[in-house]
Amino acid sequence: MTRADDRFDTPRSRRACFASIARAAFGVTFAERFVAPALGAPRADAAARSIVTLFMDGGMSHVDTFDPKPGREEMGPTGVLRTNVPGILVGDGLERVAGMADRLAVLRAVSAKAADHEIARYTFRTSYAPTNAIRHPALGSWALLTSGYDSDLPGYVLVGDGNTHPGCGFLDPVHGPVSIIEPRTLPPAATELDLYKRLLISTHIDGSFRSRYDSQQTQAYDRMYARAVRLLGSADLQAFDLAKEPPQVRERYGDSHFGQGCLLARRLVEAGVQSIDVDLTGWDDHADIFNPGKAPARVRTLDRGLAALLDDLDERGLLDSTLVVVATEFGRTPYINGAKGRDHHPAAFSCVLAGAGVKRGFVHGATDERGYTVESGEITHADLNKTIAEALGLPHDREFRAPNGRPFRIGGEGRVVREVLA
């Protein structure tokens, strides 16, 4: 006797089954790819074709990482390491990164206006302050909008919690990031069966609604679901399968959510995905920050994942076409509070760029001798995004209109920090 779900026993049968449902529900086939409409395509001479953003969620301490102040009480027990570039120092725990400082552009004069996590995080992702009137697109969504990206794979992937991410904002949902909560496992076959059942229900319930209300928003969500169906039926899904990597490679990245997320980012860059965000959470240490399981552990996790990512991209000839960004919403106070922690500090902090389009072995900007304020070379979140957009060749000077008619630009009102660009 044939079981009801035997049709899922092979990729080909699953693909055929999903294709029939997709045709019924959305009017698409697996022979069709969604091509994002290119609105002001990237410049042909752009240095970067892909971007990997490693986001230090919670506020990474600059004096403990990329802007140490040797000999100052503000350092607490954190030591200082020399790098392979004379004059560039980093905090201890960044041993691997110290050996590749000649690939980095360290930005030591980044500042933000908000000391609130949600506001500062949103501003970094979008270049705009949040408002009640509109939700702004993340930079990765802008990049996808303007690229004409053409693949079965999603063009924008987030390894992290999509609930804390602005996503595509007011753009078509197909330009939003696909969120991967756990990079170490692929969705099981049951997920495909569940999606099949959901699509059947969607076909029956929503069919009449679509025929009566064929709005742009309805079509946009249809395309988003069709993309999910197409991905599950595509051989390109193997790009997400970290089990394809040798054990020694996986070990080099570290067996952490972030480390394996960095490995997934490398695989997705190889597969042609345009934008990948990988979050490293837990930097919000108001107390006992120097506990080995807190900031020191996260610094080591960052060190391992970042170093392995840069090495692998370089060895594969991809670093020259991939921009890697290490960023955070704000820094932490140089002073150590009474609870042996560091508080929110938007006045001055550090970010790092590496790879396509940026200088190497370079430091931009400076804070005062204690790390409290910017002394030179100040960069805002919008400036950083505008500079990234320039490296990607995005049309950041062009005005785009939101549904309410208001004009917006990629990178907002930021400026391109050309001193950082190669």
Task: Look at residue 31 and tell me whether its pLDDT is greater than 60.
Answer: no
Question: Is position 223 within any domain?
Answer: no
Mean pLDDT of the residues in the chain: 86
Count the Cβ atoms, other than its own, within 10 Å of residue 391: 22
Structure confidence by residue, pLDDT tens digits, 321-336: 999 999 999 999 999 9
> How large is the average pLDDT for residues 210-230?
58
Question: Is position 403 within any domain?
Answer: yes
Question: Is position 11 within any domain?
Answer: no
Question: Is position 167 within any domain?
Answer: yes
User: Helix, strand, or coil here: 310?
Assistant: helix
State the Cα angle at 362 between 42 and 106, rounded to 5°: 80
Domain span holding position 331: 48-189+239-420
pLDDT of residue 55: 98
pLDDT of residue 12: 46
Q: Are 123 and 114 a contacting pair, CB within 8 Å?
A: yes
Question: Is position 99 within any domain?
Answer: yes
> How large is the average pLDDT for residues 236-264?
94
Number of domains in the chain: 1
Task: Look at residue 204 and tell me whether its pLDDT is greater than 60.
Answer: no
Task: Look at residue 37 and tell me whether its pLDDT is greater than 50.
Answer: no
Stretch (H or E) spanning 311: helix 295-315
Q: How many Cα neighbours within 13 Å face the side chain of 94?
A: 27
3-state secondary structure 103-123: HEEEEEEEECCCCCHHHHHHH
Strand pairing class (104-111; 349-355): antiparallel
User: Helix, strand, or coil here: 125?
Assistant: helix
Q: What's the CATH code of the domain at 355?
A: 3.40.720.10
Question: Is position 372 within any domain?
Answer: yes
> How large is the average pLDDT for residues 231-250?
84
Position with higher pLDDT, 263 vs 12: 263
Confidence of residue 27 (pLDDT cuts 50, 70, 90): very low
DSSP E strands in 92-232: the ranges are 104-111, 156-159, 178-180
Contacts 24+ apart (CB under 8 A), 113-118: 113/346, 114/330, 114/346, 115/330, 115/344, 115/345, 115/346, 116/344, 117/58, 117/59, 117/284, 117/329, 117/344, 118/164
Structure confidence by residue, pLDDT tens digits, 270-323: 999 999 999 999 999 999 999 999 999 999 999 999 999 999 999 999 999 999
Question: Is position 404 within any domain?
Answer: yes
Question: Is position 30 within any domain?
Answer: no
Q: Are 51 and 392 a contacting pair, CB within 8 Å?
A: yes
pLDDT of residue 173: 87
> How large is the average pLDDT for residues 382-397?
96
- As a whole number of Å, the CA-based R_g of the chain is 22
